[in-house]
Amino acid sequence: MPIPPQWNLKGKVALLTTGGHFATPFLAAALAEAGARIAVAGGPQDALEATRQAANPYDRDIAIFPADVTDSASVRHAVRQAMEVHGRLDVLVNNCQLVAAKPFLETTPEEFDQALAQNLRSVFLFCQAVGEHMVSQDKGRIVNVSSVLAERGVENMAAYCASMAGIAQLTRVLGLELSRTDIRVNGIGPGWFIEETRSLEDQQQELLARFLPSRRYGHPRDLAALLVYLCSDACDFVTGHTIFVDGGAMARL
């Protein structure tokens, strides 16, 4: 996509986190196309490699760092590695989501803890580790990817919805705490997305797609322009917000 001059990320270093979510390679490719140098932390290994492959046409020196995104020492080690390779971190994009779907009364405490650790604790850990470097630079951009389920309840997804709400609230608080610096913290809340490319006619065979005001599912490409903006210098007066990219679904609340 054409990059407006004020959205250009040339010379900036972006660290993306992944837990295997299918959108991460598209997010990395969008930032690399806008000029950023890319580093990726998390796992599993195939998710790291998929992200590297997606961004490779725009950045052939992508660094990947396997890490346990729920462990503080592992996260800090990955961040130190990224700093050693690139010398700085200008952008952090958190997208370590684990989708957990199970009736509430059947959800074990261990399953609940796992969902919150993967989805919410990982964001806390990376924001803290990277945020320290950004504060020393007095500049940075953080984007936390959550979901429309941060605001909207869905049956059988109590743990996931709780973790998404936590990400949105953490984004608000960090936006406030860092607002007097040149660090901006925002979020993106995708709606119902699919990875594959499907015709409108095919999608509209499904009741959920027909329910959405746009009458189609989202695709990670729909996040690209917004992500680049939130990571750019142009995003100077926007902080603490989660912006929903949902085809109008939240308008029906």
Q: Is the dihedral of CA 81, 85, 91, 95 positive or negative?
A: negative
Percent pLDDT > 90 in the chain is: 77
Of residues 206 and 154, the one with the higher pLDDT is 154
Q: Per-residue pLDDT for 62 more than 80?
A: yes
Distance of alpha carbon 163 from alpha carbon 144, whole angstroms: 12
What would the DSSP string read from start to end of the chain? ----GGG--TT-EEEEEESS-TTHHHHHHHHHHTT-EEEEEES-HHHHHHHHHHHTTT-S--EEEE--TT-HHHHHHHHHHHHHHHS---EEEE-------B-GGG--HHHHHHHHIIIIIHHHHHHHHHHHHHHHHT-EEEEEE--GGGTS--TTBHHHHHHHHHHHHHHHHHHHHTTTTTEEEEEEEE-SB-SS---HHHHTTSHHHHHSTTSS-B-GGGGHHHHHHHHSTT-SS--S-EEEESTTGGGG-
Which pLDDT value is given to residue 3? 63
Higher-confidence position of 240 and 197: 240
- pLDDT bin (cut points 50, 70, 90) of residue 196 is confident
Q: Measure Cα distances from 80 to 52, 84, 94, 121, 130 in Å.
A: 19, 6, 17, 19, 9
Q: Under a CB-based contact definition with an 8 Å cutoff, are residues 29 and 14 in contact?
A: no
pLDDT computed for residue 251 by the predictor: 84
Mean pLDDT of the region 204-223: 80
Of 221, 222, 204, whose CA–CA distance to 212 is shortest? 204
pLDDT band at 69; cut points 50, 70, 90: very high
Say yes or no to pLDDT of 253 above 60.
no
| Location of structure tokens 């346990």 | 68
Is the backbone of residue 42 left (phi > 0), alpha (psi -120 to 50) or beta? left
pLDDT at residue 247, as a whole number:
86
pLDDT for 20-37, tens place per residue? Answer: 888 999 999 999 999 999
Token output for 187 = 């979020």
Digit-coded pLDDT (tens) for 46-61: 999 999 999 999 988 8
Q: What is the pLDDT of residue 189?
A: 97
Domains defined for the chain, CATH in brackets: 8-245 (3.40.50.720)
Does position 81 have pLDDT exceeding 80, yes or no? yes
Q: Dihedral of CA 36/169/48/100: which sign?
A: negative
Yes or no: say if 75 and 125 are a contact pair by the CB < 8 Å rule: yes
How far apart (Å, rounded) are the C-alpha atoms in residues 229 and 236? 10
Could you tell me the pTM of the whole model?
A: 0.94
